[in-house]
């Protein structure tokens, strides 16, 4: 038996994800959602992406974490726009949280948006964020 409240929540999330996709596409922003287990190397790979596109594309990063901003602080050294989302009790970034974060950014100054989701392979895989590319990382070592 399906509970109708879950269906409404899912429909709302999907609607918000579509709005995010439309917003980013209207500005020709490529968006990537990185998901993986904790410690697999998401932030390391994102640093390599930032370095590879330096001077060629304008990269912005949205960092998702349950409580900390360790990865955001790590990315800030590159001098690019970084926004932190602390999900508190949620094991993934919710679309409404991403939309709220995007509203704080100057999207006209972004070519590539990288979202580092919470370190978890279960929940983030089920929640669309309107991304163009979903990157599932196992390990960088």
pLDDT interval class at 97 (50, 70, 90): very high
What is the SS3 assignment for 11? helix
pTM score, whole prediction:
0.91
Looking at residue 53, its pLDDT comes to 98
- The tens digit of pLDDT for each residue in 13-63 reads 899 999 999 999 999 999 999 999 888 999 999 999 999 999 999 999 999
The pLDDT value given to residue 125: 73
Mean pLDDT, the chain, as a whole number?
A: 92
Q: What is the pLDDT of residues 103-127, one digit of tens each?
A: 999 999 999 999 999 988 777 777 8
The answer, yes or no, to whether residue 89 has pLDDT greater than 90, is no
Query: For residue 36, which of 124, 115, 114, 113 has the smallest C-alpha distance?
Result: 124
Q: Going by CATH, does the domain composed of 4-137 fall within 3.20.20.140?
A: no
Predicted local distance difference test score (pLDDT) of residue 4: 63
CB 128, CB 95: distance < 8 Å: yes
Confidence tier at 10 by pLDDT (50, 70, 90): confident
Q: ∠116-78-103 over CA atoms, to 5°?
A: 55
Task: Please enumerate in sequence order all residues whose Cβ is within 8 A of that of 35, keeping only pairs 6 or more positions apart, or say none.
Answer: 42, 117, 120, 121, 124, 125, 134, 135, 136, 137
Residue 137 and residue 41 in contact, taking contact as beta carbons nearer than 8 Å: yes
pLDDT tops 70 at residue 5: no
């Amino acid at each position: 038996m399906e509970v109708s409240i879950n269906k409404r929540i899912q429909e709302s999330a999907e609607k918000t994800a579509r709005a995010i996709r439309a917003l980013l596409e209207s500005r020709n922003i490529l968006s990537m959602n990185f998901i993986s287990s904790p410690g697999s190397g998401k932030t390391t790979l994102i640093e390599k992406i930032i370095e590879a596109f330096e001077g060629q594309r304008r990269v912005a990063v949205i960092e998702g974490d349950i409580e900390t901003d360790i990865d955001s602080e790590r990315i800030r050294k590159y001098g690019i726009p970084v926004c932190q989302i602390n999900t508190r009790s949620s094991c993934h970034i919710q679309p409404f949280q991403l939309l709220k974060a995007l509203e704080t950014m100057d999207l006209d100054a972004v070519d590539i948006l990288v979202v580092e989701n919470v370190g978890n392979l279960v929940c983030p895989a089920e929640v669309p964020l309107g991304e163009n590319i979903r990157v599932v990382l196992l390990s960088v070592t």
